Chain A
Amino acid sequence: MSKPVLQIENLNKTYMLGKRLVNALTNLNLTVNKGEFIAIMGPSGSGKTTLLNVIGCIDKPTEGTVTIDDVNVTKTPENKLYKVRRDKMGFIFQSFNLLPYLNARENVELPMEGKIKSREERKKRASELLNLVGLSGRENHRPQRLSQGEQQRVAIARALANDPAIILADEPTGNLDTKNKQEIIKLLANLNLNQGTTIIMVTHDTNAALHTERMLLLKDGKIVKEKEGLHLAKKNSKCPHCGAPIKITDDNCQACKKPLFQTDELFAS
């Protein structure tokens, strides 16, 4: 039995939008175990990103507790929170958020700056991480010379920099074309499978969500539904159409040639 890496209890988050009080999150409870791959889904304004920001300690809850690796971060003072973000969290953004004036390796090195003293060690680790996300040889390229898929890989490598407890991905495939979407989601699934990295991903993309183990549907600041994902990488799943075994790299079933992810009706019922 894996131990929980994240525990959220009675989480409430309200904020003022002009003169209107908005309940972004209402009495939310969630436990995430180490090594889980979770998708948070839901319509716009359902509180997905707010939840992610609260978990990532870049937003404060109005009420409730968030415990990460047995530490209640809601009690951590503001000026100490950066350490939680640096050491426990890895952020992946929809628009990559790389620093344009730094090359790929330097971007990956950024979070290590406060943590790893030796410059050589930082360089070495950044190179290894870029290698892991399939960007060896592109270390010295600045973001504008990389494709969008490549930029997101750099961002993933950056998120892994300090070996975080949780990777928080906010619409990581939102800005990518179909081919890159598939590659990034497979990369995340593989990291989860092979490195045991806990990943919480906010997404609109049901196709991407199916690669996770657990899918949560958020509506009006509450988790309204929970479903099991396929996690193709982990489960050695079979084609839902013909029963033939499928691989993570497959988009269509090798046997019946039918697309594997026709899941628009996922949360329909």
Chain B
Amino acid sequence: MGIISRALRNLSRRKVRALLVIVALSISLSIMVSIPAGLMANQESTSAMANNLGNTITQTSQSINETLSQIDVSMSSNFAGFGFSQAATPTPNTSGRNGGSTSDVTGPQNFGGFGGAGGGQFGGASGTASPMNQSLYSDIADISGVAAVEEILTASQGSSNQTTTFMGRTFTTLITDYTIQGIPLISELVDGYTVLPTNITAGRNLQAGESGGVLLSQNNSKFFDVGVGDEVKIVNETFTVVGIYSPSSTENIQSLYMNLSDAQRITNNTGYITSLKVFTTSSELVDTVASSISSLHSELTVTTQQDRLNQLQQQQSLYEEALASAQSSLAATEATAIQEIIVVVAATSLIVLFVMLYTVRERTKEIGTLKAIGFSNKVVMGQFLIEGLLLSTIAGVVGIAIAAFAAPTLSSLLLPTVGTQMGFVNVGNATSSTVTLSTTLMLEAMGVAVLLGVVGTLYPAWRAAKIRPAEAMKYE
């Protein structure tokens, strides 16, 4: 009959009490496990959020630096209308592109013309881009301070109409299926500037001098149902998909990229572009170059990136605020967690303490008898310590089992969710991190359970050991 089996029999002797204690202890232990688990999840998600924010901030900084030296140039809206009607007059080759974009909205190719396409590139300045004769603007490259000029043809393509009724009248709008971005694939631009998407998720990017290849966005890839290496029909020509990119926040999710000459050919716009992007040699020269362009071509809208810069900087400070608020929110959660753990640890020790004190009191006579028949103080103390340990160990196992199922619920009940006040900043959400119990955490919790068992039983066991047998015998 060992000391442990005696302890077990004593526990089973008072089944209801043992059960109540185990339930109470296991609940507090499961709380004790869930809080750090929840805290860890919160820390994880906050650090993920901080990472995301950090990346966004870096990206934004890069955008700011890049855009600082850029100027967007497009046909002023004043000229948009007659830019086409007069097309026959100033440009000798427009006869070749008969009606190329004026009224072909319902034409056989269902080519949507240039309307509304400009918005894709860096949230471009003007909503409606009109075609510009490429040859007329070659002088821009000669302006001092201009490093490079990117000629862009943007054209949206739709296949279906959406009709809306407004105040009794019916309007028909073309739904854009994709937007063609024609970019000159010359090594000066492709290798020297960011003129193509950078986030390639499959295949490769377009290369200088390439023709007949197309870079699709993930949306395009779904729309055409094609992958890298497949052939895809754009307007009326077949292209090979060289790669797929994931659009950045400044790229149009419907844009597909190809060589400018390919884009011009398939849209019947040879010699025409919709916008220019002018790269200056330094950001200080931007204003000078912009006014030079304006004075050379009064019909053009010249936009520097000052507005965009302001916008980006504002965004930047929002991101930084969001990060700071998430961090302070995490700090607050950590403080709450520590307080709760202190309360639970204290409560658990007190439960063990009172139950074991009661047990010792109740068994005073038994203790007296054991001592009278030759049990040492050490053995008597050990007997009660082992009972307390058994109780807390069983409760520990049960508590961890409860926590394994209920940790997410418990931690969400007990801990404030770490989040950012910048609700609209879509950079990570604390609640998305799952609360999981690691083996280390479970073992630690078991250790804490055993420790609390010892701490709570130490005093009652000591009391038991100090009982004087002669007096204990009189106790009923």
Asked if A97 and B374 make an inter-chain contact with CB atoms under 8 angstroms apart, the answer reads: no
Asked if B369 and A99 make an inter-chain contact with CB atoms under 8 angstroms apart, the answer reads: yes
B interface SS class:
helix
Asked if A82 meets B6 with Cβ closer than 8 Å, knowing A58-B469, A58-B470, A102-B1, the reply is no
A85 within 8 A of B: yes
Given the complex, which residues of B lie within 8 Å of A85, measured CB to CB? Answer: 371-374
B366 within 8 A of A: yes
**A101 CA to B376 CA, complexed, in Å:** 20
B208 within 8 A of A: no
**A82 CA to B1 CA, complexed, in Å:** 20
Report, as a range, how many residues of chain B touch the other chain: 20 to 34
**A65 CA to B205 CA, complexed, in Å:** 105
B377 within 8 A of A: yes
Binds B, one of A108-116, A205-213, A252-260: A108-116
**A93 CA to B472 CA, complexed, in Å:** 13
A56 within 8 A of B: yes
Residue among B6, B369, B372, B377 with the highest chain A CB neighbour number at 10 A: B372
B390 within 8 A of A: no
A53 within 8 A of B: yes
Residue of B nearest to A58 (CB): B469
Asked if B373 and A79 make an inter-chain contact with CB atoms under 8 angstroms apart, the answer reads: no
| 1/0 contact string of B362-403 vs chain A (CB within 8 Å) | 000110111111111101000000000000000000000000
Asked if B470 and A86 make an inter-chain contact with CB atoms under 8 angstroms apart, the answer reads: no
Given the complex, which residues of B lie within 8 Å of A90, measured CB to CB? Answer: 373
**A162 CA to B375 CA, complexed, in Å:** 13
**A115 CA to B374 CA, complexed, in Å:** 10
Given the complex, which residues of B lie within 8 Å of A110, measured CB to CB? Answer: 1, 370, 373, 375
Given the complex, which residues of A lie within 8 Å of B366, measured CB to CB? Answer: 97, 99
Residue of B nearest to A50 (CB): B470
Asked if B374 and A58 make an inter-chain contact with CB atoms under 8 angstroms apart, the answer reads: no
Given the complex, which residues of B lie within 8 Å of A37, measured CB to CB? Answer: none
> How many contacts A-B (CB < 8 Å)?
74
Residue of A nearest to B365 (CB): A97
With beta carbons under 8 angstroms apart, the residue of A53, A79, A82, A101 that contacts B374 is: A82
A158 within 8 A of B: yes
B204 within 8 A of A: no
A63 within 8 A of B: no
Asked if A87 meets B374 with Cβ closer than 8 Å, knowing A58-B469, A106-B1, the reply is yes
Kindly identify, within residues 150 to 179 of chain A, every residue whose CB is under 8 Å from any CB belonging to chain B.
158-159, 161-162
**A102 CA to B373 CA, complexed, in Å:** 15
Asked if B9 and A91 make an inter-chain contact with CB atoms under 8 angstroms apart, the answer reads: no
| 1/0 contact string of B1-15 vs chain A (CB within 8 Å) | 100001001100100
Asked if A56 and B374 make an inter-chain contact with CB atoms under 8 angstroms apart, the answer reads: no
CB distance from A82 to the nearest CB of B (A): 4
Asked if A101 and B373 make an inter-chain contact with CB atoms under 8 angstroms apart, the answer reads: no
A185 within 8 A of B: no
A89 within 8 A of B: yes
Report, as a range, how many residues of chain A touch the other chain: 20 to 34
Asked if A114 and B372 make an inter-chain contact with CB atoms under 8 angstroms apart, the answer reads: no
Asked if A114 meets B375 with Cβ closer than 8 Å, knowing A58-B469, A101-B9, A109-B1, the reply is yes
Kindly identify, within residues 71 to 115 of chain A, every residue whose CB is under 8 Å from any CB belonging to chain B.
79, 82-83, 85-87, 89-91, 93, 97, 99-102, 106, 109-111, 113-115
A59 within 8 A of B: yes
With beta carbons under 8 angstroms apart, the residue of B9, B10, B371, B473 that contacts A82 is: B371
**A59 CA to B469 CA, complexed, in Å:** 8
Given the complex, which residues of A lie within 8 Å of B379, measured CB to CB? Answer: 113-114
Kindly identify, within residues 11 to 33 of chain B, every residue whose CB is under 8 Å from any CB belonging to chain A.
13
Residue of A nearest to B14 (CB): A101
Asked if A93 and B10 make an inter-chain contact with CB atoms under 8 angstroms apart, the answer reads: no
CB distance from B195 to the nearest CB of A (A): 87
| 1/0 contact string of B452-476 vs chain A (CB within 8 Å) | 0000000000000000111001000
Given the complex, which residues of A lie within 8 Å of B469, measured CB to CB? Answer: 53, 58-59
Asked if A101 and B470 make an inter-chain contact with CB atoms under 8 angstroms apart, the answer reads: no
Given the complex, which residues of B lie within 8 Å of A79, measured CB to CB? Answer: 376-377
Residue of B nearest to A56 (CB): B372
Given the complex, which residues of A lie within 8 Å of B375, measured CB to CB? Answer: 82, 86, 110, 113-114
Asked if A93 meets B374 with Cβ closer than 8 Å, knowing A99-B366, A101-B9, the reply is no
**A90 CA to B369 CA, complexed, in Å:** 11
CB distance from B363 to the nearest CB of A (A): 9
CB distance from A55 to the nearest CB of B (A): 12
CB distance from B80 to the nearest CB of A (A): 99
Given the complex, which residues of A lie within 8 Å of B468, measured CB to CB? Answer: 58-59
Asked if B10 and A89 make an inter-chain contact with CB atoms under 8 angstroms apart, the answer reads: no
Asked if A53 and B470 make an inter-chain contact with CB atoms under 8 angstroms apart, the answer reads: yes
**A169 CA to B472 CA, complexed, in Å:** 17
Asked if A97 and B369 make an inter-chain contact with CB atoms under 8 angstroms apart, the answer reads: yes
**A162 CA to B374 CA, complexed, in Å:** 10
Residue of B nearest to A109 (CB): B1
| 1/0 contact string of A217-252 vs chain B (CB within 8 Å) | 000000000000000000000000000000000000
**A86 CA to B469 CA, complexed, in Å:** 13
CB distance from B120 to the nearest CB of A (A): 83
Residue among B1, B368, B375 with the highest chain A CB neighbour number at 10 A: B1
CB distance from B215 to the nearest CB of A (A): 81
Residue of A nearest to B377 (CB): A79
Asked if A91 meets B1 with Cβ closer than 8 Å, knowing A79-B377, A99-B366, the reply is no
Asked if B1 and A114 make an inter-chain contact with CB atoms under 8 angstroms apart, the answer reads: no
CB distance from B454 to the nearest CB of A (A): 22
Known contacts A85-B371, A85-B374, A102-B9; 13 further A-B pairs (Cβ under 8 A): A56-B372, A58-B468, A58-B473, A82-B374, A82-B376, A89-B372, A93-B369, A101-B9, A111-B374, A113-B379, A114-B375, A114-B376, A115-B374
Pairs A-B, 6 closest by C-beta atoms: A86-B374, A58-B469, A59-B470, A97-B369, A82-B376, A101-B9
Q: What are some 11 contacts across the A-B interface (CB < 8 A)?
A: A53-B470, A58-B468, A79-B377, A82-B376, A85-B371, A97-B372, A101-B9, A102-B9, A113-B1, A114-B374, A159-B373
